Each structure stands twice: as structure tokens, then as C-alpha cells.
Structure 1
């Protein structure tokens, strides 16, 4: 069955775009928390300190570079991949306009918790729509398939690399970065089960097409 047919298509499209928008809002909450960003967001933060571009614009550019890396590993791009690359960054910029900077530690921790929860739910929404993985997810799973390494090793290597580069450029690494790494997988897995849409054959899949955690995984 085509991904663009069936009576569930309106719900799937709604999930895709709502999920991608909320993903950006989740990122904005975590960044405003200022206790440590997610690995790829550390890289984006670091880059924004050296170029006159918004966080969202840099996110789009980084996504474009990551998609170029899909070519040698022969990953297939889906509409969800393209929309992820184009929508998450601007949604984060909207979030920065709506969410104030926080000073008390308790409020920054609260912002981080809200952001992580929103991001995990957003991941369940957009991956559950079955329109393809995000750029970073596809890079991880593509390397896993081509190199034959366990997915956790590929994920760890990628994220340690981007965190190191982002930190060197001035990105915010902290306890939130560690908390994200430990919690995002189980939280995303839960929300993927909640929001997975039944498609061909009536099966409700809880697997990602290019996940970000465990068998799945998230970023943007």
C-alpha cells in the first residue's frame, strides 16, 4: 500500500506536521533551560556563536549536510525526512520567541523537563506517522546497516563526535546533556507505541523507519 493513500492519511499528515512543530518547541524549552542541550543541539548552539544566523537556520543547514552523507550509505529520503529538515529549525525559532529565558535554577530544570517530554511525544507523533526518518536518524541507521556495527555504538560515536565539536565551538554541555542521553530512548519508545498509526495490513508498528533510540532514537 502507498504511504500516500488510505483513510488514515489525514491523521498521519497531521501527526507529521504537529510532531515536527512540537519537536522544535521541545528543543527551545531545553535550550532555555540552559542546563545542557541534546547532542546535536550542542553542535547547533556552537555554530550559532560563530555565524550571524539563527538557531533554526543553522539547524536546517546542518540537516542539509547530514543528508549529503546519506548519499554514500544509500539511504532513501522520504517526505518525513525533508519536512524534518525544513520544519524543526523554524519551529525552534518560534519557540525562542514564545519561551522567555529563565534564571532561577528550579525554573530552568522545569523548562528542561517540559522540553524533553514534549520532544519525546513529538518524536512518537512524527515517527508514528510512517513518512520516513529524520536526517540524523537516517544517518545513524544507515551507518549501522553499512558498517554492521551495533546501533548503540554508531549512535554513541556520532553523538560523542557532535558534542565534542559543539562544545569546542561554545555549545552548552551539562547535566541536561547526560539526562537527555539516558532518558530520551525510553520516553520516545513509550510515545511511539501511543501514537503509531496502523497502516498496511492493519498492523500497528512501533518500530521506526530510521529511529533515534535503542531500536529507535530521536534529534532532530
Structure 2
């Protein structure tokens, strides 16, 4: 049964990671405020002659290095997330125009947030491992014993402040993202989850259930 589902899982993973980058591009083109980790990448991109996508890959690699001391193990999806989301965001920037029209920027943000949430449901629902940032969150939760929401909040406040100091855009969109992305991701994770044969649930798996991950 699990073998017959493998092609669907692989396709779902790759589509999810591609759409995740497209969602990021829509949100940033909306210029209403990016997601916390994207504020960081955006800020760094203003000081280095590298594309947003390349910086996203570098940040993901650094995050994965932090996995080592907290003994978090990556999956295939983790590695593909680290190397594919950034380039797909760069593709999005090539086809999504910049605009000064507020209503278009709002539409871009809504499209981006919805696309990103659906993409999260697709790639996490394929069960190939969490993304670098989600894995850092769940790993720190396991090591520190602090609640998921507390670890996530601390991480995102830290990266958004650093990104803002470097020149990244923080605005109402950042706040809206923080408030809406969790419930939207949970919804799409339930929609796209691939049912796998039952096996013992580890604490790591428990952290990644649709009713426990907040985006």
C-alpha cells in the first residue's frame, strides 16, 4: 500500500516545494511585509550580491547546521526544501511584476499566503520530513521542553528583528502572516495528508501532526 502511494508522495512533495517558493514571491511582491524568515533573507539580500533564492538556500544550510547539536535528523523532504524553495522563489520574481497599486499588492499578498499555506500542506502531507525551519522549531521544542508556540514565537521574533535591522520589509503583512498562516496550514495539511500505514508515534512525529504544527 505504501509503495503504491510513493509516486503521489514524490509528486506532491515537489509541487509543494515549488509552490512554496511561488507563494513567497507573491508575498514579497505585495510589499506589505514578508514572513519572518523571508524578512531575514530580504534584509541579507540588500547587503550581498546574491539573489533572494540563493540567500534562502544559504540560510537553510545554516539552519541545518544548527540541527547537528540538537540531534535533529533530516529527511529527503528536508534537503529538497533547503535547495528548491529559494530557486522557485527566484522564478516567481521573474514572472510576478512589482506594482505600486495598493489593491494589487493586497491581492498578491492574499494569493501568496494561500499558496504558501497550501504548499505547506502538500509537502508536509507527503511525509518526507519537515523543512529546515520547522525542524529547528520541533528540535528546540524537544531539547528545551518549551511549548511549540513559545519556541516558534522566540525564533520568529529573533529573525524578524535581525531582518528588519538589515533592511527587510516588516509591515501589516508580517502581522497578518503570523496570525493566519497557522490555521491555514493546519487546514491544508488535513486536506493533502497522505495516509500511511500505522506505526508507533514518536515525539518528533507528534510535533508534525496537522493538529500540532502551527505553520
Please, what TM-score do these two structures have when normalized by structure 1? 0.92
State how far apart, in whole Å, the 2-side matches of 1:10 and 1:213 are. Answer: 22
Map residues 1-220 of structure 1 onto 2, 5 A cutoff.
6-201=3-198, 211=208, 215-218=212-215
Structure 1 stretches of 4+ with a deviation exceeding 4 A read 207-214
Which deviates further from its counterpart, 115-124 or 193-202? Answer: 193-202
Distance 2:214 2:11 in 1: 21
Judged with a 3 Å threshold, the aligned counterparts in structure 2 of structure 1 residues 95 and 63 are, in CA distance, closer, same or farther, namely: same
- The gaps in structure 1 that reach 5 residues or longer are none
What is the number of equivalent residue pairs in this alignment? Answer: 211
**C-alpha distance 131-91 of structure 1, shift in aligned 2 (>3 A):** same
Contact 1:49-1:170 within 8 A present in 2 as well: yes
State the secondary structure of the residue aligned to 2:69. Answer: helix
C-alpha displacement at 1:198, in angstroms? 1.0
For normalisation by structure 2, the TM-score amounts to 0.94
Distance in 1 separating the partners of 2:38 and 2:75: 23
RMSD: 1.9
Report the alpha carbon displacement of residue 37 of structure 1 after superposing the two structures with TM: 0.2
Does structure 1 conserve the Cα–Cα contact (< 8 Å) formed by 2:190 and 2:210?
no
Q: What is the distance in 1 between the residues matched to 2:210 and 2:136?
A: 13
Give the CA deviation at 1:209.
Answer: 6.8
User: Measured at CA, do residues 110 and 213 of structure 1 come closer, stay the same or move farther in structure 2, by a change above 3 Å?
Assistant: farther
Cα distance in 2 for partners of 1:61, 1:122 equals 21
CA contact (8 A) 2:189 2:210 kept: no
